[in-house]
Structure 1
Amino acid sequence: MRQPGLFHLASVAWATLCLFCASPVRAQEAPSRPLTVSGFVSDAASGERLPGAHVYAPDLGHGVATNTAGFYALTLPAHADTVQVRVSFVGYQTASLILMPVETRWRDVTLMPETSGIGEVEVVAERGEDEVASTRMSTTAITAAEVELLPALLGEPDLIKAIQLLPGVQSGSEGQTGLYVRGGGPDQNLILLDGAPLYNVSHVLGFLSVFNTSAIARVELTKGGFPARYGGRLSSVVDVTMREGNRHAYATEGSVGVVASALTVEGPMPGLRRRGAFIVSARRTYIDVLAKPFLSGRTSGQNFTSYFYDLNARLTFDATARDRLTLSAYLGDDVYGTAYTSTSLDGFRERFDGGATWGNGLATLRWSRPFSNRLFTTAALTASRYRFATTTRLAQTVPGLPETFQEAVYTSGITDLGGRVDAEWTPSAAHAVRAGANLTRHRFNPGVGTLRYSLADSAATAAADTLARLLTPESFAYTTWEGFAYAEDDWQLGNRLAANLGLHASAMRGGTQTYASLQPRLSARFLLTPDWSIKGSFSAMEQYLHLLANTGVSLPTDLWLAPTERVPSQRSWQAALGTTARLGRGWMVSVEGFYKDMQGLIEYRPGASFAVPGQDWQDKVEVGRGWAYGGELFLRRTTGRTTGWLGYTLSWSTRRFDALNEGVAFPYRYDRRHDVSLVFNHRFSDTLDLGLTWVYGTGQAVTLATARFYENGLLDPRQLARLDPSNPSGPIELPTLLHYGPRGGFRMNAYHRLDLALNWHFGGALFLKGGESTLSVGAYNVYSRRNPFFLFAAPGEGGGRVYKQASLFPILPALAYRFRF
């Protein structure tokens, strides 16, 4: 066990304080018991429940948000005879209710979707009241409808790229779907789809994400002030909720784009009388179909395969009026391959097959039930799998002899099986308590290659197989268990002050060592006025999983690994202070400052690579620490004709490893001093709207070679040219060694880009009278900025060498058609 230190003792003290604060709940209650009104908030048109809707009592200055099942529990003072309540959700008309708590303990609410785009719907209790009054900070929610309004690369709406436009989030390289949140790495993000973890969220080497917006309801990003219910990652939680499906009528939705098409079917489950619903959504690219005429036929029998697909499904069934069962599933893969067959005149035949496949699969079975209007419980079983496999096979046939072949296979991945229980209890108007536990079995396959031979001669085949066994390492697959338990209390300390106190306890077995951690969580807010609050938070996090990544590009060869005696788990603590204000007419502004310290980070040693067979991964990495700090501005409008946001981040992100850069601290690759994102949507009429995004970021920090040492010493290339009469125009090719400057000591050029999309909405779908359609026309990188993707050394004028910039995307047109009926 890790020896308890000062931080461990502080965590124990924090746990004692939490229990002390939560214990006198009954003593603090009024002599007469407070009243609680509960229910579900649903879409009036489809019957789908709405997670994240806000239920607010303006006269009392008190409100709650619906949970992932759309359930709310609003506890009111015992003396309240009638209470005015507003229920709101983005994209829906606000509902105003008059509740009589003495008579009504259960009240379901339905919200009507907004139907008019030109008239401004008055939404008083929009996100604003939730964000001002809530104890949570550093949290932003986005709906799939908002994502679909944004300009997109090649016309494909992308959930992850929408998150990249938020302050505090970096996008990595050009067009990539990586998330670098407040100085953290892509492995430090817990990405959940209906409660199950996703380990790789990229298609096409990171240029598109795996999320099909047709199947998604909303996403919530948490980048600080983490509630105790979350754990296992250092930097962020991306919680994605799938749609339930339409309970009232069958509907079909589809899209046709430049690179992919999608089709979604939803409706009530047959024979259940609106007690259940289903949704099935599929997406597939047709890159292979478009490229086949250009790539096939160059060699006899050549075949080229390149595509990805996503399949989402969710079934919802109400077993009773209170008991709900939900089954969610996702399956997606990238498939790339090539094959050819050639036959010579003398009958010699050669056949080659090679390719790679990688992707995710997951499933969640959830049961939920409100046992009373104060107690809501859920239990879930989850399964998640990420795999990568590549195969090459060369077969040859000589007339009159058996076929011979050589085959190489490499596989890696991770598989999780887990169970979780959660309870939400509202004992009084001053307390909202959550508690739960989770247990997960991880099965790691950090990469194993196999070789097989079949030769014409049996003795040669036996010798080749023996050699292959010697070169192929034993399987490194292993199993670990990870568990956690948590408790948190959202505590109202009067009319102005509220706090969320929590404790997250976790443990994992890695190698022969057990890692355990107590992680205190605290967030608080103080209302200066009903429209303005100041907030602060502190959170300690422990991450047991490492991601061994070779480059900044999202590659399927990245390996997930458990901690060991030599490579311990990652730990961090983060503190933040900020203010949130509602400015009126749908405008919100928040300003936050943060500091984050991270321990146990890993980096590849210089020259190390996953491709070296038989080498222990622990010998390839160095362990160090990092820290990040900065400030964020977020100005947002969510109602009216014109919506969008402005985000600005000023930040520093630093790493230090004893064996790298001579032990001197250096900038993280994605350390960007300034990062700006502007998102603008304007609805001209019910049929026409415009989407615009503009981004700017300081250039990435890179490490460059500053000198070349030749075999005979350090020489100017022009001098070497004179030594070689046969090559007067260039230097002789001699073995060289490169001398690199400070790690991260150089900066690429700044990155900036403008994207546009014009959306035309009209009646009819696929030439049918009913339904509705949207035609989107736009452009990515409108002014064709040559943004840096990487730098490379090339001969310069006068025989020297210079670094040149490689750019990826010029202006790219986008065209997409969406329909629904």
Structure 2
Amino acid sequence: MTNLYPVFVLLCIMAGLCLPHRLLQAQNPPAANANISGYVKDSETAETLVGATIYIKGTEQGTTTNLYGYYALKVPRSDVFITLVVSYLGYETAEITVIPAQDKVLSIRLHPQQQLLQEVVITDDAVKQRLESAQMGMQKINSQSIKTIPVMFGEADVMKVVQLTAGVQTGSEGSSGIYVRGGGYDQNLILLDEATVYNPEHLFGFFSTFNSDIVKNLDIYKSDFPAQYGGRLSSVLDIQTRDGNMKKFGMQGGIGLIASRLTLEGPLVKDRASFILSGRRTYVDIFTPLINRALPDENQMPDYYFYDLNAKLNYIVSDKDRLFVSGYFGRDKLYFKFNPDESDNTSYSLRWGNLTGSVRWNHVYNPSLFSNTTFIASRFNYRDLFNFDDFFEFTSSTETYTFSVKQDYDLYASDAHRLKFGVHFTHHLIRPVDFSAGVTSPDTLYQSSNVKEQQRYEGQEAALYAAHTWKLTRRFTLKSGLRLSGFATAGNKQYGNLEPRIALNYLVTDQLSVKAGYSRMAQYLHQVKFINLSFLDPWFPSNQYVRPQTADQISAGFTASLFNGQVSLTNEYYYKWLHHQLDYRNGANFLFIDENYHQRLTVGRGWSYGAEWQLEKTKGNLTGWMAYTLSWAKRRFPDLNNGKPFPFTFDRRHVLIAVLQYRLPRNWTVSANFTYRTGEAIDLAVGRFFIYGINFGDPQVVPQYADQNSFRMPAYHRLDAGFIKQFTSKKRLQSELAVSFYNLYSRRNAFFIYYEDVKDKENRTVTYRARQASLFPIIPSVSYNFKW
């Protein structure tokens, strides 16, 4: 695409501006059809419901709401009543009678089922919808029951729920990071109200940045990616936040062992405008100074805390226009003073966090054409500072900025044809390294010697896409898409990729469907991990030396409805090819990125394959799911492991997960989840040799390694359990007490393995012994949650 990138961007802009007008001219529906369209909402809050099912009773004709709760149906004009059946998990099914004599705008309000606190639970909506959909490798989490899942420190975490699904591997103990179907950490596209979140972790990965009280809906895609998504290879996590109550003011929150949270929401103009504001903060830093002063002779504890702030405004401008303004700000702060003596100010501080903002405008051109225009800004940065007794300082930092404009359209052409298309443009600004060092004291007798180094990279990414869902027959559905993406960076280097996607679904019986799909993805930003702290590994763009990563994935499987729709079974098989993968060369300096950074990298390829089974029950007092993943993941680089293939670090052969919740009388709920997984692949020394200097003093001991990642950590397994007591109130106050036990049988899972010297009686090292370090024994926790 060299020298064609500006033309490509111009074509994208023209397509985004002109195509809707062409469609408006073509969308004069024949007089034989009437359009029924509108939004599906919560009757108590007016919150739109994503993925609600609407169908005509007694027929196979139906549709689902989009990400903004909008739907459209075309029905033959008639003076005879028809009945619309509208359903959504956690809500009472509604039947609405209409006469389709003419076009009709119909906003549908569903009543929540009688429960106490609305929480978050995994589901795929109705089993029927899953059977008929051609979408593969997709899981939906909507706001209805996550707090029943026991978690560490009692802090509900959406990302921990994602880790409990088939095909998703976790990092180290307690980490919120994910590795999907053999992909890397940087190959996950994480969106919050359409804004990219570059670092979704707090407390070095033990908590995610997403406050569960404000999450409305989360879709995770592991394969068969919809054409509107691009820029990453392995998964997409699309998170939407709640819009705020348009009916009445309310608040909810919780008090836990290490963090508390509070959410306020309500109408600015009843039934027309609303707001929601949510905050969360830990308070460990309040107690650590007290502990340090009480135990001055012990190892000092660092001060640490994190906080999150979410805000959103929602305004219905007219029957055809709606405006959303949302933002997120989160920050981690750590401070450690090496010597408690007040005369010595040597210290270390570290800060990192995300800032996102988005403005979205929904417009309904006509009942068949829905559009969304989005303006997005996102930033991630970290900064650390070494202060050597107010005499000398060393500072390093990194920043990643993204500015995007998106124009997306949903076209409900007919009951058999549904199209989605649009154009995206993104500007990337990355400062992967910014460090300085020098003397800070003005009274020093030494000559000041300051060093400063800065790097700055920019890139422009654009994409034009179209997707088509075609219901050929009652039993056969074809979903196809094409994404044309391009990237331009410094040095007048441009890249382009065609990214086709296709999926098929055949309904063998009313209880069984078979599916198959193929997708190709391209990634223009990269993050090569060296240590298991994602914020310390800077991002950098493709350039004249580093090509974009690409991936091809094929998948096939089936979905079955069992026991009259009470249980669903999903089985998928996949094979993924990863091209232009990046890793560090042996002995490379990974701390800084400069103009020669590409020389420290090696380029190779990867592949992964496996099978996933997931059995779910979403109805009745006993609910939950069981998931099993059998998988292989490999890498091959010409400069690593003598050019031979080796297991990817998170190549785990077996992963077994069970999550169960049981609702007891008198508002009690008990829950448990069990995880078993093969240990991750690691390097361990198989021997050592000695190198003596010319005076034969103490030798230098050099470890000798076998093939890369040829050893395994011990298998990981853990059982968590908990219970919740919900309290009723005649007033609006609802509350619950949640008690959970992380690692119930106190399994000492390996966090890392190290070697210790074994010495003889004369204190000489005679051999080495491998030992494992573990993090968490059993951790009980308690939290109080309320909603008013």
Report the TM-score when normalising by structure 1.
0.87
Shift of 1:321: 2.2
Shift of 1:504: 0.4
Matches within 5 A, 1:382-781: 382-395=376-389, 405-454=391-440, 460-461=446-447, 464-465=448-449, 468-469=450-451, 472-473=452-453, 475-512=454-491, 513-551=493-531, 553-583=532-562, 584-611=564-591, 616-712=596-692, 734-764=699-729, 770-781=732-743
Shift of 1:779: 0.2
Structure 1 residues 342 and 310, CA gap change in structure 2 (3 angstroms): closer
125-134 or 688-697, larger mean C-alpha shift: 125-134
Query: Could you say which residue in structure 2 is the equivalent of 1:305?
Result: 303
452-461 or 629-638, larger mean C-alpha shift: 452-461
Alignment of 1:187 with 2:189, yes or no, is no
Query: Could you say which residue in structure 2 is the equivalent of 1:70?
Result: 69
Q: C-alpha distance in 1, partners of 2:113/2:652?
A: 39
Q: C-alpha distance in 1, partners of 2:326/2:24?
A: 37
Structure 1 residues 424 and 622, CA gap change in structure 2 (3 angstroms): same
Q: Provide Cα deviations, 1:687-708, integer angstroms capped at 9, x if missing partner.
A: 1101111111111111111111
Q: C-alpha distance in 1, partners of 2:301/2:722?
A: 36
Structure 1 residues 24 and 2, CA gap change in structure 2 (3 angstroms): same
247-256 or 530-539, larger mean C-alpha shift: 530-539
Alignment of 1:276 with 2:273, yes or no, is yes
Structure 1 residues 217 and 408, CA gap change in structure 2 (3 angstroms): same
One of 292, 297, 300 as aligned partner of 1:295: 292
Q: C-alpha distance in 1, partners of 2:475/2:359?
A: 40
Q: Is this contact kept in 1: 2:692–2:698, CA < 8 A? A: no
Q: C-alpha distance in 2, partners of 1:591/1:145?
A: 25
SS of 1:51's equivalent in the other structure is coil
48-57 or 27-36, larger mean C-alpha shift: 27-36
Q: C-alpha distance in 2, partners of 1:456/1:44?
A: 66
Q: Is this contact kept in 2: 1:178–1:554, CA < 8 A? A: no
Structure 1 residues 84 and 797, CA gap change in structure 2 (3 angstroms): farther
Q: C-alpha distance in 2, partners of 1:447/1:526?
A: 51
Query: Could you say which residue in structure 2 is the equivalent of 1:812?
Result: 779
Q: Provide Cα deviations, 1:67-119, integer angstroms capped at 9, x if missing partner.
A: 111101123356895444322222112222334333452211111111059xx
Q: Provide Cα deviations, 1:473-492, integer angstroms capped at 9, x if missing partner.
A: 3x111211111110111111
Q: C-alpha distance in 1, partners of 2:502/2:277?
A: 40
SS of 2:127's equivalent in the other structure is helix
Q: Provide Cα deviations, 1:395-454, integer angstroms capped at 9, x if missing partner.
A: 55xxxxxxxx32221110201111111111112222111111111111101112112324
Shift of 1:609: 4.1
Matches within 5 A, 1:90-489: 90-103=89-102, 105-115=104-114, 126-269=125-268, 272-296=269-293, 305-339=303-337, 350-395=344-389, 405-454=391-440, 460-461=446-447, 464-465=448-449, 468-469=450-451, 472-473=452-453, 475-489=454-468
Q: Provide Cα deviations, 1:263-317, integer angstroms capped at 9, x if missing partner.
A: 1111111xx23211111000000111122211247679x9953100000111101
SS of 1:618's equivalent in the other structure is helix
Q: Is this contact kept in 1: 2:423–2:464, CA < 8 A? A: yes
Q: Provide Cα deviations, 1:322-374, integer angstroms capped at 9, x if missing partner.
A: 21110110000100013489889xxxx54334301000000010110212111
SS of 1:213's equivalent in the other structure is coil
Task: Report the residue type matching 1:219 in the other structure.
Answer: L
Q: C-alpha distance in 2, partners of 1:125/1:738?
A: 50
Q: Is this contact kept in 2: 1:116–1:686, CA < 8 A? A: no
Q: C-alpha distance in 1, partners of 2:749/2:272?
A: 52
Shift of 1:778: 1.3
Q: Is this contact kept in 2: 1:390–1:410, CA < 8 A? A: yes
Q: Is this contact kept in 1: 2:35–2:102, CA < 8 A? A: no
Q: Is this contact kept in 2: 1:62–1:133, CA < 8 A? A: no
SS of 1:234's equivalent in the other structure is coil
Over alpha carbons, which structure has the higher Rg?
1
Task: Report the residue type matching 1:576 in the other structure.
Answer: S
Shift of 1:591: 0.8
SS of 1:706's equivalent in the other structure is strand
Q: Is this contact kept in 2: 1:262–1:282, CA < 8 A? A: yes
Q: Provide Cα deviations, 1:5-29, integer angstroms capped at 9, x if missing partner.
A: xxxxxxxxxxxxxxxxxx9999999
SS of 1:160's equivalent in the other structure is helix
Q: C-alpha distance in 1, partners of 2:770/2:341?
A: 45
Task: Report the residue type matching 1:782 in the other structure.
Answer: L
Task: Report the residue type matching 1:742 in the other structure.
Answer: D
Percent sequence identity over aligned pairs: 34
SS of 2:773's equivalent in the other structure is strand
Query: Could you say which residue in structure 1 is the equivalent of 2:7?
Result: none
Structure 2 residue runs of 5 or longer lacking an equivalent are: 5-21, 117-122, 761-765
Task: Report the residue type matching 1:289 in the other structure.
Answer: I
Task: Report the residue type matching 2:778 in the other structure.
Answer: I
234-243 or 755-764, larger mean C-alpha shift: 755-764
Shift of 1:61: 2.1
Q: C-alpha distance in 2, partners of 1:390/1:104?
A: 61
Shift of 1:664: 0.6
Q: Provide Cα deviations, 1:729-787, integer angstroms capped at 9, x if missing partner.
A: xxx952122211111111111111110110000035xxx96401110111001111111
Alignment of 1:784 with 2:770, yes or no, is no
SS of 2:131's equivalent in the other structure is helix
SS of 2:634's equivalent in the other structure is strand
Task: Report the residue type matching 2:385 in the other structure.
Answer: T
Q: C-alpha distance in 2, partners of 1:459/1:290?
A: 40
SS of 1:167's equivalent in the other structure is coil
Number of aligned residues: 756
275-284 or 63-72, larger mean C-alpha shift: 63-72
Report the TM-score when normalising by structure 2.
0.91
Shift of 1:612: 5.5
Shift of 1:207: 0.5
Q: Is this contact kept in 1: 2:57–2:82, CA < 8 A? A: no
Task: Report the residue type matching 2:596 in the other structure.
Answer: D
Task: Report the residue type matching 2:736 in the other structure.
Answer: T
Q: C-alpha distance in 2, partners of 1:447/1:641?
A: 54
Task: Report the residue type matching 2:566 in the other structure.
Answer: G
Q: C-alpha distance in 2, partners of 1:546/1:491?
A: 35
Q: Is this contact kept in 1: 2:433–2:593, CA < 8 A? A: no
Q: C-alpha distance in 2, partners of 1:373/1:444?
A: 42
